[in-house]
Amino acid sequence: MFYILSTFAMQFRWLDRCNNRPDRLQGYKSVGLGLHTQPTAQTSKKKKMKEELKQVADLITANIIGTQKEVLTSDEAAKYLGVSLSCLYKWTMSRQIPHYKSPSGKMCYFNRKEIEAWMQSCKVATNDELEQQAQTLSRKGGRK
């Protein structure tokens, strides 16, 4: 009886180490009190399906973020801008991007419309616009 309980306890610790995550338990099949490896074709199909579902979920989330939500979290704003989270944090710390802090000061929030305006605020002039500015300045004697 003690042997059975100790074997069960060892398996429980192993499961606990894996945090009961199914992705870490894939390919293992419980038989009696022992775990034996049983790699199958279904395991790879399930893994591929999970990846595809995650991609679809990310696309749906990106679509929702871009069209419906006005207030974005840091993760959502980073995805919306197409930058890493650390890059976004650098911009917030240097106050380059408009953002809001929660009352506790722990969370950053971003207004989608303000982010769009900020993205469009650094327009690069075309050659035609530069030529027009040059002609305007030359007519005024070099002063704006």
Full-model pTM: 0.49
What is the domain range of residue 12? 2-39
Q: What is the 3-state secondary structure (H, E, C) of the chain?
A: CHHHHHHHHHHHHHHHHCCCCHHHHCCEEEECCEEEECCCHHHHHHHHHHHHHHHHHHHHHHHHHHHCCCEEEHHHHHHHHCCCHHHHHHHHHCCCCCCEECCCCCCEEEEHHHHHHHHCCCCCCCHHHHHHHHHHHHHCCCCC
pLDDT above 90: residue 93? yes
* Residues 103, 69 share a domain: yes
* Residues 115, 67 share a domain: yes
**120 or 30, higher pLDDT:** 120
Domain annotation covers residue 6: yes
Domain annotation covers residue 137: no
Lowest mean pLDDT among 57-61, 77-81, 92-96: 57-61
* Residues 105, 66 share a domain: yes
pLDDT above 90: residue 110? yes
* Residues 113, 81 share a domain: yes
What pLDDT is attached to residue 12?
45
What pLDDT is attached to residue 21?
52
pLDDT above 70: residue 68? yes
What pLDDT is attached to residue 39?
59
How many separate domains does the chain show?
2
Domain annotation covers residue 140: no
Q: For residue 31, which phi and psi values (nearest 5 degrees)?
A: -125, 110
* Residues 67, 24 share a domain: no
What pLDDT is attached to residue 128?
92
* Residues 66, 33 share a domain: no
Lowest mean pLDDT among 42-46, 47-51, 98-102: 42-46
Domain annotation covers residue 7: yes
